[in-house]
Structure 1
Amino acid sequence: MTLRPDDFDLDHHGDLEVGHGLVDLAVNVRAGTPPGWLVEEVGASLTDLAAYPRQDAALAAVAARHRRDPSQILLTAGAAEAFVLIARAFRPRHPVVVHPQFTEPEAALRSAGHLVDRVILGPETGFALDPRAVPSDADLVVIGNPTNPTSILHGADELRELARPDRILVVDEAFMDAVPGEPESLVGASIPGLVVVRSLTKTWGLAGLRVGYVVAAPALIEQLAAVQSQWPVSTPALAAAIACSNERAVAEAAQAAADLDRQRAHLLAGLRCTAAVSTYGVARGPFVLVHVAGAAVVREQLRERGFAVRRGDTFPGLGPDWLRIAVRPESVTDAFLKVWQDVLG
């Protein structure tokens, strides 16, 4: 079903839920990050702040990480800047965003003057993607994988069906490195019009540093770079991009993804012990989406007891009875589940 409602707060993000003294289950950044070795790498770059940032080494590192050519990489000030560049660089006649998903892509498109259509995936199908639901004349399509907030991992084959010779296909893979083995990633695919957006924020705890990147064909990268400001990525952010792309970092991220699978299963098992809670589809991201009657009241009661979770009603396609809960280590989850059961009991 394709909709164009404007009654969602697209600028609301999980960080607005967090307050002093609250345990943060609202923001999807991995707990205990950034690791000490990454802090050291970033800190060492501070001696070079007098010089303008040079991207060559970081481009080469990210390209090698994904076995691409540096001409296929664009470094950005977080994934959010990538969406702004996409909205500025391309002039689609019929852009479509697949929801529920991260709202920043649509917000950026709307800010750039585009009229955006929405394709809404529903809980009755487990938020599964049906490529036929996307209008055939859509010349720019945005979809997350795995998707925030549903945590659903779409199959690479289904995403390939969205590709067209005259279409820009934007796949937001900000959470893909949280999936063991990244089995459905398109970051290495050669698909005409494909633009893959990645982030270092979530796994490495770098929200305050702002670093991400785009992987696409050189011609598309050139279009995006043409609307990007000079020196958009700082020297410390470039150091982080290099450090997070080496073999050690890739291995650590893989272990973190495996840990996340276990921690998410523990969270879901506890949530499902409460009869009033429903989940849909198979969660694969570092968060879960739950349906619970009176979610707004539940969220406030959780805050009163020291836990912040993300409201779901700002995501197109969801309503007031949805909450997104970040996956955390078992000890944190156990404390949360005790309060959760008390609130719902």
Structure 2
Amino acid sequence: MTPHSPAGPEAHEPDLRHHGDAEVRADGADLVDLAVNVRTGTPPAWLRARLAATLAELAAYPDGTAARAAVAARHGRPVDEVLLTSGAAEAFVLLARVLTPRHITVVHPQFTEPEAALRDAGHPVHRALLSPDGGFRLTAGAVPEESDLVVLGNPTNPTSVLHPAAAVAALARPGRTLVIDEAFMDTVPGESESLATARELPGRVVVLRSLTKTWGLAGLRIGYVLGPAPLIAGLAAAQPLWPVSTPALVAAEACSAPAALDEAEQAAHELGLRRDHLLKGLAALPEVRVHGEPAASFVLVELPGADAVRERLRERGFAVRRGDTFPGLGPDWLRVAVRDEGTTDAFLAALAEALG
């Protein structure tokens, strides 16, 4: 497809290293955080207790055997198809260092770390920009046929679009590595469009997961990769010794248990109700437009002068994520995290003032 940007061709190169935490920490202001997509009120008390108990084990070197087995069982895969990583971000770096693709396509707008890691490793990257007019959905021909490495998110950050599993699977080809960032898939009830258990597709299909968002573990750094055993072995060989700490390994094991999965499922249902509340409030503001059908723990909005509105929201005590650092977007976009109804109502009131 022809690359598309809401404001025409990009006039600047987006800052691929900018992240939502910078919006919250800037100027040392005490702001309500709508810029970072970590679920509030986490980690839950039972998980904090499990993590605290690991302090007595820190004299020993980490052993990932139990955690790896738990993740493998959670997704119905052999253990040798699972790699535990220091957050999903490490997985992007490992893939960039280990793979030797000739034609890379990163589907944007999406999380910028995969492209940043690929560029840091010296790989040229082609950007396939999805259109807001089409709800940021995958379309036929979006990915060039010659691409032997394709990276996309599902549900996608920052658009919150959940691509059908069939549409994502259709990108798999012999000779192609398809990398799917499913960091927010556990915010979707039933994880209905996940390919985490897909093992029979052509080529190499790699799924990345994170425990950061639902469980509030951004500071702990724990994620994992699911993929063909030979590739997993190659990625593991590129890791340093003991790349994942003992507390992080315990978190991976604990959050893969049936009781934790039930809790995550309930949280996903509650999130859907809170997201509907936010969307209803945004729909009452004529200047604000939401493209597509948001499915994750955040909403991407388009509004004229969004950059200035973001600053006025800061003055009113709210931090939201700027959109112009995502390829395919520009200064008229903001990403807003879904929060409880009270926080959302206060934000909507502040947004109405900022727009006025």
Rounded Cα–Cα distance in structure 2 between residues aligned with 1:328 and 1:271: 14
1:286 corresponds in structure 2 to 297
Task: Write out per-residue CA displacement over residues 174-199 of structure 1, whole angstroms, 9 at most, x where no aligned residue.
Answer: 00000000110000001230000000
In the alignment, structure 1 residue 163 sits paired with structure 2 residue 169: no
- Asked if 1 retains the 8 angstrom alpha-carbon contact of 2:21 and 2:35, the reply is yes
In the alignment, structure 1 residue 196 sits paired with structure 2 residue 207: yes
Of 34, 39, 42 in structure 1, the residue corresponding to residue 48 of structure 2 is: 39
Rounded Cα–Cα distance in structure 2 between residues aligned with 1:56 and 1:307: 42
Rounded Cα–Cα distance in structure 2 between residues aligned with 1:160 and 1:241: 26
1:266 corresponds in structure 2 to 277
Rounded Cα–Cα distance in structure 2 between residues aligned with 1:162 and 1:100: 17
Of 247, 256, 270 in structure 1, the residue corresponding to residue 267 of structure 2 is: 256
2:59 corresponds in structure 1 to 50
Q: Secondary structure at the match of 2:259?
A: helix
Rounded Cα–Cα distance in structure 2 between residues aligned with 1:217 and 1:131: 27
- Asked if 2 retains the 8 angstrom alpha-carbon contact of 1:125 and 1:281, the reply is yes
Of 187, 192, 195 in structure 2, the residue corresponding to residue 178 of structure 1 is: 187
- Asked if 2 retains the 8 angstrom alpha-carbon contact of 1:99 and 1:143, the reply is yes
For residue 275 of structure 2, what is the amino acid of its counterpart? R
In the alignment, structure 1 residue 68 sits paired with structure 2 residue 74: no
2:154 corresponds in structure 1 to 145
Q: Secondary structure at the match of 2:110?
A: coil
In the alignment, structure 1 residue 21 sits paired with structure 2 residue 30: yes
Query: How far off its partner does 1:343 sit?
Result: 1.3
For residue 142 of structure 2, what is the amino acid of its counterpart? A
Task: Write out per-residue CA displacement over residues 58-97 of structure 1, whole angstroms, 9 at most, x where no aligned residue.
Answer: 0011111111111110000000000000001101011110
2:13 corresponds in structure 1 to 7
Rounded Cα–Cα distance in structure 2 between residues aligned with 1:199 and 1:331: 28
Query: How far off its partner does 1:46 sit?
Result: 1.2
Report the TM-score when normalising by structure 1.
0.98
When residues 326 and 15 of structure 1 are mapped into structure 2, their CA distance, relative to the original with a 3 A threshold, is same
Task: Write out per-residue CA displacement over residues 221-259 of structure 1, whole angstroms, 9 at most, x where no aligned residue.
Answer: 011112111100000000100110101100000000000
Of 200, 213, 219 in structure 1, the residue corresponding to residue 224 of structure 2 is: 213
For residue 275 of structure 1, what is the amino acid of its counterpart? P
1:302 corresponds in structure 2 to 313
Task: Write out per-residue CA displacement over residues 24-70 of structure 1, whole angstroms, 9 at most, x where no aligned residue.
Answer: 00000001111010001011111111111001000011111111111
1:94 corresponds in structure 2 to 103
- Asked if 1 retains the 8 angstrom alpha-carbon contact of 2:115 and 2:125, the reply is yes
1:343 corresponds in structure 2 to 354
Rounded Cα–Cα distance in structure 2 between residues aligned with 1:179 and 1:200: 14
Cα RMSD over matched residues? Answer: 1.2
When residues 171 and 37 of structure 1 are mapped into structure 2, their CA distance, relative to the original with a 3 A threshold, is same
For residue 83 of structure 2, what is the amino acid of its counterpart? L
Rounded Cα–Cα distance in structure 2 between residues aligned with 1:7 and 1:273: 33
When residues 123 and 235 of structure 1 are mapped into structure 2, their CA distance, relative to the original with a 3 A threshold, is same
In the alignment, structure 1 residue 230 sits paired with structure 2 residue 241: yes
1:332 corresponds in structure 2 to 343
- Asked if 1 retains the 8 angstrom alpha-carbon contact of 2:209 and 2:225, the reply is yes
Q: Secondary structure at the match of 1:197?
A: strand
Rounded Cα–Cα distance in structure 2 between residues aligned with 1:277 and 1:204: 30
Rounded Cα–Cα distance in structure 2 between residues aligned with 1:252 and 1:324: 26
The runs of 5 or more residues in structure 1 that have no matched partner are none
Rounded Cα–Cα distance in structure 2 between residues aligned with 1:343 and 1:266: 20
For residue 332 of structure 1, what is the amino acid of its counterpart? T
Report the TM-score when normalising by structure 2.
0.95
Task: Write out per-residue CA displacement over residues 296-336 of structure 1, whole angstroms, 9 at most, x where no aligned residue.
Answer: 11000000010000000000000100000000011111111
2:91 corresponds in structure 1 to 82
1:135 corresponds in structure 2 to 144
For residue 169 of structure 1, what is the amino acid of its counterpart? L
Query: How far off its partner does 1:344 sit?
Result: 1.3
Task: Write out per-residue CA displacement over residues 244-294 of structure 1, whole angstroms, 9 at most, x where no aligned residue.
Answer: 010110000000000000000000110110000011000001000000100
Query: How far off its partner does 1:2 sit?
Result: 4.6
Rounded Cα–Cα distance in structure 2 between residues aligned with 1:163 and 1:84: 22
For residue 195 of structure 1, what is the amino acid of its counterpart? V
Aligned identity (percent) is: 62
Query: How far off its partner does 1:131 sit?
Result: 4.2
The runs of 5 or more residues in structure 2 that have no matched partner are none
Q: Secondary structure at the match of 2:189?
A: coil
Q: Secondary structure at the match of 2:128?
A: strand
Rounded Cα–Cα distance in structure 1 between residues aligned with 2:216 and 2:36: 11
- Asked if 1 retains the 8 angstrom alpha-carbon contact of 2:282 and 2:348, the reply is yes
